[in-house]
Structure formats: structure tokens, C-alpha cells
């Protein structure tokens, strides 16, 4: 009886696999454009299973398929300013909870939203579309020349008085970041990105961080030795990003022209869901920070005016 049951189960499996293969061949015959798994052999039920599984993976996005990207026509520049309409409620800012190294660490208020003369500092804008690394039609010679550059010295990610000096830091996957410790006490840089790292940094010293993967959004950086310390880093393949300065201004140079320009706006306080901003006076409803800019013309210098209501920040604080 046992042999009979096992034999029956095997025959059923082979029949199922043969049916699946028939459906696969029928699908290909009517013009399916998906890639065909490399291995198709006859007679083996295991081989048939491999073929079917590979086809299903391809159909669900599990296998890589060639993606055609548009061809830019030149380069342009995007500049602008992000301003805040109204007053951000500063009473919601609380002091850092300093409970050690009090002679070094500052307990100043944690200003999670920094606005100077209506200009929003530490706002992040970044391109979120296709990009061909190393292709001179996508990557301007200035960017190609800086590939693999070290972000050190004034460009380093620094910490002082037990506070990260950058609330958001943007870099490329082909760059190496110096993480400095300008304090006289040790720190711990805990980076929660796809290329994660947890590094000890002695007093007045530094370490380096080399990411291997692009990030879809900023990841947190904190210090386990001083748990109130927190910041963010984003890593992108494309160099088309900017972090707003003290006056809310930004500039993104050598942006490809003649192609769609999907962008994202991010700020540490704003919700990840839907919210509204104004771009050049027009209300834009953003989902996860996404918005689209019209293609640039070669040599164009486009200036954007982005406005955000203070109530959006106040409701999130």
C-alpha cells in the first residue's frame, strides 16, 4: 500500500508539472514578451519544476529584465528657495536629555525645524527616476571627474558638543564619507542603512563610511553612547540632490534635460504619507514626498519657489 501511495503522488506531481509546462509554452506562443528561463529539458519532473518556478519569479518581478531609459539632450540647473509660511511653534522643542559627559555635551533645545527669516534649513530634494551611472549623457563631466571622491574636511559628517552638525546629509554611492568626532569624548556612529555600520570613534578622530547600495529614503544615524544624538543620511546613485542652506536656498547643477524629472521632498518632521506644498504658487499634493517637474531645456536655469505652511510642521511636532 505504501509503495502504491507514493507512486500515485509522484505521478500526480509529474502531471501537474507537465500541465504547467504546457501552459508556459502556450503563453510564449501567443506573444508573451517576458524573458524565457535559460534551462528547458525534457523528461525530468525536477527540471520542469525549475522552469515553472523561474517563469513565475520573472512574472512577479523576481528576475531581472532589461529596462529602457530615455536619452537626455543636455544639462541644465535647478535653483530655488524653500520658505515657511507662518510661525513654527518653538515651545514644542525640548532640550536634549543629556545624562552623561555634561561638561562636553550641550543641552540646548533640539530644534527639529530650523527656519531663518522664513527660509527652511535642512530640507532635502532629490531626483527619484532612472539614471545611467557613468553615461556622459546622464552624468556631466564634472560629476564623472568627482567619482569616488572622499567627502572629508569641511565636507565631513561631523559631531560637536554631542550633536550631529548635519541634520540630513546627502551623498552618492561612489563616494567615501569621513565621519568626524570633534569632541573630547568618544562617540559611536550607528548607521541603519542598507550598508549598515556601527563604528567607535575616539576623541578628536574619525572613521570612514563607504556605502554599497542606493537608499530610497534617508536612514537614521545615532550614537549609542549618547542616545539623544540623532541625524539622517541619504545615499543615491544619481548626484541630483540638494540640502537647503540656512536661508532655505538650494542648487542642483548639471541636471539632464529633455527627460522627465520625478523628485522627492523630505524633512525629518513631515509625515511619510500625503501632504501639500506650493511649487511656484501651485498647490501640489505629495504622496511620500513625490512630485514631478517638467523637463528642462538644454542650458536652462530654472528657479523654483517652494512654500510650506508652518501648521504642517506644528501638527507633526
pLDDT in tens, 131-163: 999 999 999 999 999 888 899 999 999 999 999
The confidence score (pLDDT) of residue 290 equals 96
Q: Which of 231, 314, 234 is nearest to 271 (CA)?
A: 314
The secondary structure of residue 26, as a DSSP letter, is H
Query: Exposed, middle or buried by CB within 10 Å (0-12, 13-18, 19+), for 207?
Result: middle
Average pLDDT, the chain: 84
Q: Which residue has the higher pLDDT, 19 or 287?
A: 287
Residues 6 or more apart whose CB falls under 8 angstroms from that of 233 comprise 157, 168, 169, 170, 171, 177, 191, 193, 218, 219, 221
As a whole-number percent, the residues of the chain with pLDDT over 70 amount to 79
Q: Model confidence over 258-314: pLDDT tens digits? A: 999 999 999 999 978 889 999 999 999 999 999 999 999 999 999 999 999 999 999
The confidence score (pLDDT) of residue 67 equals 63
Distance CA 14, CA 10 (A): 6
Q: Model confidence over 38-86: pLDDT tens digits? A: 333 334 333 433 333 443 344 444 455 566 788 999 999 999 999 999 9
When mean pLDDT is compared across 146-155, 178-187, 216-225, 253-262, the lowest value belongs to 146-155
The confidence score (pLDDT) of residue 21 equals 39
This prediction has a pTM of 0.78
Evaluate whether 139 touches 132 at the Cβ level (below 8 Å).
yes
Q: What is the 3-state secondary structure (H, E, C) of 70-138?
A: CCCCEEEEEEEEEEEECCCCHHHCCECCCCCCCCCCCCCECCCCEEECCEEECCEEEECCCCCCCCCCC
Q: Model confidence over 92-102: pLDDT tens digits? A: 999 999 999 99
Q: Indicate if the pLDDT at residue 227 is higher than 70.
A: yes
As a whole-number percent, the residues of the chain with pLDDT over 90 amount to 75
CA dist 44 to 1, 37, 52, 154, Å? Answer: 25, 16, 13, 63
Residues 6 or more apart whose CB falls under 8 angstroms from that of 178 comprise 150, 151, 152, 153, 155, 156, 157, 206, 207, 208
Q: With bands split at pLDDT 50, 70 and 90, how would you rate the model's confidence at 185?
A: very high
The confidence score (pLDDT) of residue 65 equals 56
The confidence score (pLDDT) of residue 149 equals 87
3-state helix, strand, coil in the chain (%, to 5): 20, 35, 45
The confidence score (pLDDT) of residue 14 equals 42
The confidence score (pLDDT) of residue 182 equals 97
Amino acid at each position: 500500500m505504501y509503495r502504491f501511495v507514493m507512486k500515485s503522488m509522484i505521478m500526480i506531481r509529474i502531471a501537474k508539472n507537465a500541465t504547467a509546462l504546457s501552459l508556459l509554452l502556450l503563453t510564449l506562443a501567443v506573444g508573451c514578451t517576458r524573458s524565457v528561463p535559460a534551462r528547458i529539458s525534457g523528461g525530468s519532473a525536477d527540471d520542469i519544476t525549475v522552469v515553472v518556478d523561474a517563469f513565475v519569479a520573472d512574472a512577479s518581478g523576481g528576475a531581472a529584465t532589461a529596462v529602457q531609459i530615455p536619452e537626455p539632450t543636455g544639462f541644465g540647473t535647478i535653483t530655488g528657495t524653500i520658505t515657511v509660511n507662518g510661525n513654527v511653534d518653538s515651545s514644542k522643542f525640548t532640550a536634549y536629555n543629556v545624562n552623561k559627559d555634561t561638561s562636553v555635551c550641550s543641552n540646548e533645545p533640539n530644534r527639529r525645524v530650523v527656519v531663518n527669516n522664513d527660509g527652511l534649513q535642512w530640507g532635502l530634494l532629490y531626483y527619484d527616476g532612472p539614471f545611467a551611472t557613468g553615461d556622459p549623457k546622464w552624468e556631466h563631466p564634472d560629476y564623472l571627474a568627482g567619482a569616488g571622491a572622499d567627502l572629508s574636511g569641511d565636507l565631513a559628517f561631523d559631531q560637536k558638543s554631542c550633536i550631529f552638525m548635519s541634520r540630513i546629509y546627502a551623498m552618492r554611492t561612489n563616494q567615501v564619507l569621513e565621519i568626524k568626532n570633534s569632541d573630547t569624548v568618544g562617540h559611536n556612529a550607528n548607521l541603519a542603512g542598507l550598508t549598515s555600520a556601527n563604528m567607535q570613534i575616539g576623541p578628536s578622530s574619525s572613521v570612514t563610511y563607504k556605502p554599497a547600495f542606493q537608499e530610497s529614503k534617508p536612514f537614521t544615524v545615532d550614537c549609542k553612547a549618547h542616545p539623544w544624538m540623532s541625524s539622517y543620511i541619504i545615499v543615491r546613485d544619481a548626484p541630483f540632490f540638494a540640502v537647503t542652506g540656512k536661508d532655505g536656498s538650494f542648487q542642483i547643477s548639471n541636471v539632464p534635460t529633455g527627460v522627465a524629472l520625478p523628485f522627492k521632498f523630505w524633512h525629518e518632521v513631515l509625515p511619510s504619507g500625503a501632504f501639500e506644498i506650493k511649487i511656484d504658487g501651485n498647490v501640489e499634493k505629495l504622496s511620500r514626498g513625490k512630485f514631478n517637474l517638467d523637463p528642462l531645456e538644454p542650458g536652462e536655469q530654472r528657479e523654483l519657489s517652494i512654500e510650506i505652511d508652518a501648521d504642517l510642521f506644528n501638527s507633526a511636532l
